[in-house]
Amino acid sequence: MPRLFRPKRATKPRLPAGERIYAIGDVHGRLDLLYALLTRISADVAARPAMRTRYVILGDIIDRGPKSRDLMELLAGLDMPNFLVLKGNHEAALLDVRHGDHDAARLWVTFGGLATLASFGVDIAALDPDDSDAIIATVRRVIPDSLAQWLEALPVSLTVGDYFFVHAGVRPGVPIARQSEDDLLWIRDPFLSSTADHGLMIVHGHSIHQAGIDFAANRIGVDTGAYRTGRLSAVGLEGDQVWSLHTGDDAGGERHG
């Protein structure tokens, strides 16, 4: 039996009539899983009434997995106004490195940046992860200006109806319009532990929940750790209905409201 999702709100959050959105969690270089999930989503779309359908990747397309370059080139080249990629903290960190931030360079290589460099043909075994000058120089050499400009232009959030789509989350008690970009890209607690009504239902990635999509009364966490679990997930939204799709051996959809 599908697990029901009943938000503790006066009314269920809704999308505008005639609109459907699929929000996809952190891909992290797993192009294979993105293709597999989009195949499942396409089948789901075909089984539903025709209407405007949008696709939102919730950030962190790069690092950790093996195909960061291919993902960037694919998504940067898409001519699909209904397909949106949000900026994640990993994209922001890469840009900070490219801008010459030495602290960011040393941090980035500890949480997956070396995999991105390898996807661009860099011999990472010959790269000293403590040599921030070399890391910055390498990033500037291998990341084309066109891809860097695309990453710079990625939005950090999207609001549609009663939903707010963002990579990491929001700071409780701060109005949505006054959230800092740093929190939108990096926050975990106090956001994850908060039971506050943020005014909108927050749909986010960033914080892994391996058991499946993390449904809470005030947020929906869609990061299921694809790069290490092989499970890339999406949440489907239409009207006040919510359902999930994912890759993996038990890749079925579940309705949650």
Q: What is the pLDDT of residue 249?
A: 65
Q: What is the pLDDT of residue 4?
A: 37
Q: Tokens 């926050």 appear where?
A: 187
Residue by residue, DSSP assigns 153-185 as: H--SEEEETTEEEESS---TTS-GGG--HHHHH
Q: What is the pLDDT of residue 1?
A: 28
Tell me the two tokens of residue 251: 């890749």
Residue 235 φ/ψ, nearest 5 degrees: -110, 130
pLDDT tens for the 257 residues of the chain, in order? 233 343 445 589 999 999 999 999 999 999 999 999 999 999 999 999 999 999 999 999 999 999 999 999 999 999 999 999 999 999 999 999 999 999 999 999 999 999 999 999 999 999 999 999 999 999 999 999 999 999 999 999 999 999 999 999 999 999 999 999 999 999 999 999 999 999 999 999 999 999 999 999 999 999 999 999 999 999 999 999 999 999 986 655 667 76
Query: Any residues with CB less than 8 A from the CB of 131 and at least 6 apart, and which?
Result: none
Amino acid at 236: G
Give the C-alpha separation, 252 to 124, whole Å. 38
Q: What is the pLDDT of residue 11?
A: 85
Tell me the two tokens of residue 35: 């293709």
Distances (CA, A) of 183 to 6, 57, 114, 207, 225: 27, 18, 25, 13, 20
Q: What is the pLDDT of residue 257?
A: 61
Give the C-alpha separation, 108 to 106, whole Å. 6
Tell me the two tokens of residue 47: 């089984």
Give the C-alpha separation, 228 to 115, whole Å. 13
What's the pTM? 0.94
Domains belonging to the chain, first-starting first, are 1-87+156-257 (3.60.21.10), 89-153 (no CATH)
